[in-house]
Amino acid sequence: MNDPAATLPRPATQGYFASHWRSIDYFNLYRLTLAVALVFTGLVFDGSDLFQGNNGERFQRVSYAYLVLTALFVLGIRARWPGFQVQLTAHILADIVIVTLLMATSERLAGGLGMLLVISIASGGLVGSGRLTLLYAAMASIALLLQHGFSILRGGQGVDSFFQTGLLCAGYFAIGWLAHALTQRALRSEKLAQQQADELTLLNRINALAIENSPDGLLAVRGDGVIRHASPRALALLGVTTPVIPGFTRLEACSPDLARLAQQARHHDAPILGTPTAQLRVRCIPLATPDNSQVLVLEDQSQAEQTAQRLKLAALGRLTANIAHEIRNPLSAISHAAQLLREEASDPTQVKLTTIIENNTHRLDRLVEEVLTLNRRDRLNPMRFDAATFGALIGELLQTEEIPANAVIVSMPAPLHFKFDPDHLRQIVWNLLRNAWRYSRKQSGSLRLGAQMLGDNSIMQFEIEDDGPGVSRENQNKLFEPFFTTDAQGTGLGLFLARELAEANHAVLTYQPGSTGARFRLSLLSKE
């Protein structure tokens, strides 16, 4: 049965990465192999002239001790205890002691065995990131000089052999210094690479956040039509509900129309794509890659229109805040003077002129009032409406406009409930009702008003329709633009104001083409 703990990653020692422990693991594997080779050498050449007296047996004992010691080091590396630097130093010290003892067993093998310490010193410098490398070289040199000194005292070698030993010690320091320099250079390169990797990771994170929060949809597509990346906004604008797998899903599978327009966008300026959710302007940006990848930017035209509307509202707000008071005061004076002139006028021409003055002052006053209403569009005070209260509001407006009761057909079922700001709803219905009566035939049943609940009583829909000539096709797109009117006495703000107030209450006011007269629809998501 497998131990679950064995599958867990071993913790890294503070200040060292897992790569350091892998390096020391490989270094100990080399030492374990060397120990096996030394044991095999002692067994094969035991009794030969390589060793004098019983030195062959000593060589074997030291080799076996080295093999056992390296095997124990494997356990320490696996447990990662004690610390990394302590273990590495213990490994180098063990190599110095073992090699020194082996050199004492055979004068013929001493020079070759001494070269083994070069590998240990170099490996210790590289594995230990250049730390204590020169100390390892100094310890190896001291051990080599001591061993050589004892050999001279025993009469095994002459004093002139110190030159060869000195060269070997100098080689230890040269290798140690070289390992230290190479390691420091590698560490600087590794640090720079890590900094660049961190900056790249941060940049990728920033790009991901920018793409996810962009109001435009972004699609990266290869030249063969395979999607490399698709932002959530792009999928929402396209109405794609199936999963998109980057590198596998083709653009034709998600949106055939967009795939066709993507080819046209390379030669034409930003074609328009119609989707169930929006009207999209498609821009193609080549990436200049070998696979001819490109980025498709999907711009929601409604967002641009809303931005333009907000700018218009801001301009209107600043205008009314500055001049509304200045306009109303002269208008009040002009209207009062016209009334006085009318009372004193005896000539019909003078009466007609004063009437024109009064009508135009009333028109200007209404224009200022409607513009001021736009500034109050966000001051919501929603109230609950049902069939009775909504019907009472419509009846009050019919009486205000002096519309005959038989000219209006009202259809309103009892289960009607929604929330709306009462002043805003009054203004919307009054504008629609006044326009419908103005352009109707003013006969019995000329106006038809209806309200109903749709979608499991989650949507309230109100419609008003007249029997007039309707709206021409070229004017339908201009209906809700500010200051657009076909009536010489109109201000051009009625429908614009009605739509803005509807949007302030999270409702939608639209014109419904196709009927005999003009038909407007107010749709609201009921939250009750």
Q: Is the pLDDT of residue 60 over 70?
A: yes
CA separation (Å) from 504 to 319, 497, 507? 20, 11, 7
- pLDDT tens digits along 450-506: 998 887 777 889 999 999 888 888 888 888 887 777 776 666 778 888 888 888 888
Helices (H), 154-265: 162-212, 232-238, 251-254, 256-265
Per-residue pLDDT, 498: 87
User: Highest mean pLDDT: which of 165-179, 305-319, 349-363?
Assistant: 165-179
Do the Cβ atoms of 170 and 178 come closer than 8 Å?
A: no
Label residue 527 by pLDDT band (50, 70, 90).
Answer: low
Per-residue pLDDT, 2: 44
Do the Cβ atoms of 461 and 472 come closer than 8 Å?
A: no
State the Cα–Cα distance between residues 121 and 139, nearest whole angstrom: 10
State the Cα–Cα distance between residues 190 and 126, nearest whole angstrom: 14
Per-residue pLDDT, 129: 77
State the Cα–Cα distance between residues 11 and 30, nearest whole angstrom: 24
Q: Is the pLDDT of residue 192 over 90?
A: yes
Query: What percentage of the chain reaches a pLDDT higher than 90?
Result: 30
Label residue 351 by pLDDT band (50, 70, 90).
Answer: confident
Structure tokens at 275: 């989707």
Do the Cβ atoms of 180 and 125 come closer than 8 Å?
A: yes
Per-residue pLDDT, 170: 93
Fold entry, domain 383-525: Heat Shock Protein 90 (3.30.565)
Packed helices 116-127 and 84-103: angle between N→C axes, nearest 10 degrees? 170
- pLDDT tens digits along 113-122: 999 999 999 9
Do the Cβ atoms of 450 and 456 come closer than 8 Å?
A: no
Report the first-to-last Cα separation within the chain, whole angstroms.
60
| Least confidently predicted of 200-209, 219-228, 299-308, 347-356 | 299-308
Per-residue pLDDT, 110: 85
In the chain, domain spans: 10-192, 214-301, 304-375, 383-525
Per-residue pLDDT, 132: 87
State the Cα–Cα distance between residues 406 and 139, nearest whole angstrom: 116
On average, the pLDDT of the chain sits at: 83
Query: Where would I find the beta strands (DSSP E) of 405-518?
Result: 408-411, 417-420, 447-454, 459-466, 507-511
- pLDDT tens digits along 235-290: 888 888 888 888 899 998 888 888 888 877 665 567 778 776 678 888 888 888 88
Identify the CATH class of 214-301. alpha beta
SS3 467: coil
Per-residue pLDDT, 269: 64
